[in-house]
Amino acid sequence: MQPALEIQNLQKTYASGHRALDGISLTVRQGDFFALLGKNGAGKSTVIGIVSSLVNKSGGTVKLFGQNIDENFAKAKSSLGIVPQEINFSIFETPFQIVVNQGGYFGIPRRTAMERAEQYLTQLKLWDKKDVVSGDLSGGMKRRLMIARALVHRPKLLILDEPTAGVDIEIRRSMWEFLKNINNDGTTIILTTHYLEEAESLCRNIAIIDEGVLIEDTSMRSLLKKLAHETYVLELKAPLKVRPEEIPGFLLLDPMTAEITIDKSVGISKLFETLESANIEVQSMRNKSNRLEQLFLELVENSRQQQIR
């Protein structure tokens, strides 16, 4: 089976001389839910721009489902749906017009495009806004509109560049559910996000870019295994007034909530033994959700230190 996306030695130097990508190679399997992470200016959006042909590359090759974008432009593009970071639709048109027209640009007959527009706008809870001037939509609605627009030609690969930026938690969760469903239906998804919790809960594989270089390309599971420390949030059975000095890495957030960071080699049994010996009873416990954030920062820092050496 051909990979959904195959990037070889991708390079981009802007006219200003800024080298945005320095030989990135990346493969995304069909059906994958893939995270592309990096700090601001790392090169994520440049990669997406090149794949979607909004940015001209300086070197390298890009293949979508085996089709080289330079050689088989139309076929490659037909398989791709893009949800960009910035709003890029006419604010004077209605959501319905925007989605139907996008279908037309992909050669979808108008009647079919109208049916699909209704389907996706309904699924993304925008059908009641279908005839509103899109400039009047809220930020979250505009982002959902761009998802509906990207799906109207039923792409096999959907790339979302920070789709939930500035979106409230309720809408973000509903968007996650929607994306999970279309991924389960067979659409390959590549996601860039600043919410690392989002990448952790949605994506199976992950690549990290820093300063135009790929510094990590692995599965989410093996990446998280690299985490040397684990932080847990503890809900306590009884209030605790003073932080137990004898337990290293113990942080009292409030009398009923604590946070503890332990070396992964220590293990949970040992942790409970330690807590018990300090007469601390735990009601419930969960992983602190920003563990990927912690790892991400470690990896970027390591990569930079290696470059300095």
Partner 1 sequence: MTFSVWWVAYYTILRKEVTRFMRIWQQTLIPPVVTTSLYFVIFGNLIGPRIGQMEGHRYMDFIVPGLILMSVITNSYANTSSSFFSAKFQKSIEELLVSPTPNWVILAGYVSGGVCRGILVGLIVTGVSLVFSKLTIHNMTVMMTVIVLTAVLFALAGFLNGMFARKFDDIAIVPTFILTPLTYLGGIFYSIKLLPDFWQLVSHFNPILYMINAFRYGFLGVSDIQLGWSYVIILAFTVALFRINLVLLYRGYGIRT
Which is nearer to partner 1, 74 or 169 (by Cβ)? 74
CB of 208 to partner 1, least distance (A): 23
Amino acid at 134: S
Amino acid at 144: R
Binding residues for partner 1, per CB under 8 A?
14, 49, 52-56, 73-75, 77-78, 80, 82, 84, 86-92, 97-98, 101-110, 149
Question: Rounded distance, CA 69 to CA 157, Å?
Answer: 14
Which is nearer to partner 1, 135 or 267 (by Cβ)? 135
CB 175, CB 162: distance < 8 Å: no
Which is nearer to partner 1, 45 or 193 (by Cβ)? 45
Which is nearer to partner 1, 86 or 177 (by Cβ)? 86
Environment class of 110 (CB within 10 Å of its CB; exposed 0-12, middle 13-18, buried 19+)? exposed
CB of 233 to partner 1, least distance (A): 42
CB atoms within 10 A of CB 189: 23
CB of 18 to partner 1, least distance (A): 11
Which is nearer to partner 1, 69 or 240 (by Cβ)? 69
Q: Return the SS3 of 87.
A: coil
Which is nearer to partner 1, 53 or 231 (by Cβ)? 53
CB 199, CB 35: distance < 8 Å: yes
CB atoms within 10 A of CB 247: 17
CB of 172 to partner 1, least distance (A): 24
CB of 19 to partner 1, least distance (A): 14
* CA distance between the termini of the chain: 41
CB of 138 to partner 1, least distance (A): 18
CB atoms within 10 A of CB 212: 22
